[in-house]
Amino acid sequence: MKTALLSVMFVYSLVFSVSAQEKPSTADHLQNVSVTIRSEGVFSNGEGSGVIFTRKDAKGNQVNFVWTAAHVIDNLRKTRKTVVNGTPKTIVEFKDPMVMKEIRQNGRTVGRLQMDAEVIKYSDADDGHDLALLKVRKFNFVKDTVTFHLGDDIPKLGTELLHVGSLLGSAGANSMTDGIYSQHGRILKSINKFIFDQTTVTAFPGSSGGGVYLKNDARYIGMLVRGAGEGFNLIVPVRRMKEYCEKNKIMWALDPKLPMPDEDDLKKIPIEHEPKKQSQKSDVEEAADAEDAEDLKKFPFMIRIYPKYDNNLPSFLNTRPQPFKTMEKH
């Protein structure tokens, strides 16, 4: 009896130690939930970053949603006019962005997975929150999921942080950097209805849309969107994301405890509100816009953009993308 009990205890301890070893480290976990977002527009391609939030549908499929910055995919947006029940409407549509994930083995990149994704929600960078929610079209793409910091507390200044993003685009896919929380509540004059928090995590063009996390437990505390240098950047804090999700009734895209809509209900979610009509601006408003543009140049989007290479174009118009040449979009 004693021998049998010892055998059971040995097997239990062995299973427990193996399961403990299989638990991924913080670095491995953040690698698993981080992706590169590629947007292939008519005239240019853009590359940014994204983070995966995984849910299960009623059939048991893993459904992978991806949070990224709206400006990463804005070159895929188009509108068309139509009439619905006799009323003119403007329909907003998006070409599918690509979600890319590098595969590594034994310290070497051995390949890449690339999936199409549909745009579920979009809040533009000029008048909105600069947020986009995507859904990978293939089920069971990734099993891992990000955990959002949904508490009411705001991390203190000096809190240690990690960032994982595609620095310089796919050439630097899933690069990990660190830094600290350096300020709360920054306001850009031209979009002063919303606040940004400031961090010192190293970021380059291509980091836009990438997650910033608490170093001690890997919880997501914000999305990197703008920067004024490698170690001076602005994030959309998760409290702003909560505000946006609550207003648009999509908190299920942050909180795993809330039920996820089925496929039919997902298709009914409006991608964005009807675009605002352009009105004639006064000279004073034009001058203010110019001043705002100069202000925003101090904090450009952290997206990598390069000209689109097209075999159908004349040779003098063809420009192949340069892996480390970046243009910052203002």
pLDDT in tens, 223-253: 999 987 778 899 999 999 999 999 999 999 9
Q: Tell me the C-alpha distance between 302 and 210, whole Å.
A: 10
pLDDT for 293: 56
Please name every residue paired with 135 in a beta bridge, in sequence order, or none if there are none. 65, 118
Exposed (0-12), middle (13-18) or buried (19+): which is 159, by Cβ within 10 Å? middle
Residue predicted with more confidence, 202 or 306: 202
pTM of the shown model: 0.81
Please name every residue paired with 97 in a beta bridge, in sequence order, or none if there are none. none
Assign 129 a pLDDT band (cuts: 50, 70, 90).
Answer: very high
Q: Map out the domains of the chain with their CATH numbers.
A: 28-274+294-317 (2.40.10.120)
Q: Tell me the C-alpha distance between 208 and 225, whole Å.
A: 5
Cβ within 8 Å of residue 195, ≥6 positions away: 184, 185, 186, 187, 237, 240
Q: What value does the mean pLDDT take over residues 122-134?
A: 92
pLDDT for 16: 41
Q: Tell me the C-alpha distance between 191 and 194, whole Å.
A: 6
Decide if pLDDT at 146 tops 90: yes
Assign 17 a pLDDT band (cuts: 50, 70, 90).
Answer: very low
Q: Tell me the C-alpha distance between 65 and 84, whole Å.
A: 30
Assign 198 a pLDDT band (cuts: 50, 70, 90).
Answer: very high
